[in-house]
Amino acid sequence: MTKKNKYNIQFRIWFFAGNEKLLGIGRVELLEKIKETGSIANAAKLMKMSYRQAWQMVTEMNERSNKPLVEKQLGGKSGGGTIVTQAGLKVIDEFNKMKNKVKVFINEESKKIKL
């Protein structure tokens, strides 16, 4: 049998707030890491990105969302930190649900493609 004569299909989804891109898989993962670690700095390390980049992403998301997705706290003995809000958790959840649904759908539909 020669090369498999079929395509596999990849996809990405994004949530938009109005006509502004709010987030995609990368930023959702960042939010998840922030949730786990309690800070942008630690989340950035896990994501192997610079703090600066992570901070910019978070700031942009918060500006574009009608409700803040994270709350940042300055100062304190531990220097501060960042927590994901209820709205943020909701977005993470809805994003992942939608992503999984689309994945299943596309997998099913792929089977139907002849050739």
Q: Which residue ranges make up the site for DNA (CB under 7 A)?
A: 39-42, 49-53, 55-56, 58-59, 72-82
Shortest distance (Å) from residue 22 CB to a second copy: 7
Angle between helix 40-47 and helix 25-37 axes, rounded to 10 deg: 130
Among DNA, a second copy, none, what does residue 86 contact (CB within 5–8 Å per kind)?
none
Please state the closest distance from residue 57 (CB atom) to DNA, in A: 10
Q: What's the rounded Cα separation, in Å, for the pair 82 and 34? A: 7
How many alpha carbons fall within 13 Å on the CB side of residue 93? 7
The interface partner of residue 66, options being a second copy, DNA, none and the CB cut-off 5 to 8 Å by kind, is: a second copy
* DSSP-assigned letters across all residues of 36-99: HHSSHHHHHHHHT--HHHHHHHHHHHHHHSSS-SEEEEE-STT-EEEEE-HHHHHHHHHHHHHH
Decide whether 71 or 93 has the Cβ nearer to a second copy. Answer: 93
* Least Å from the CB of residue 81 to a second copy: 26
Task: Identify residues 38-97 at the interface with a second copy (CB under 8 A).
Answer: 66-67, 90-91, 94
- Could you say whether residue 8 binds a second copy (CB under 8 A)? yes
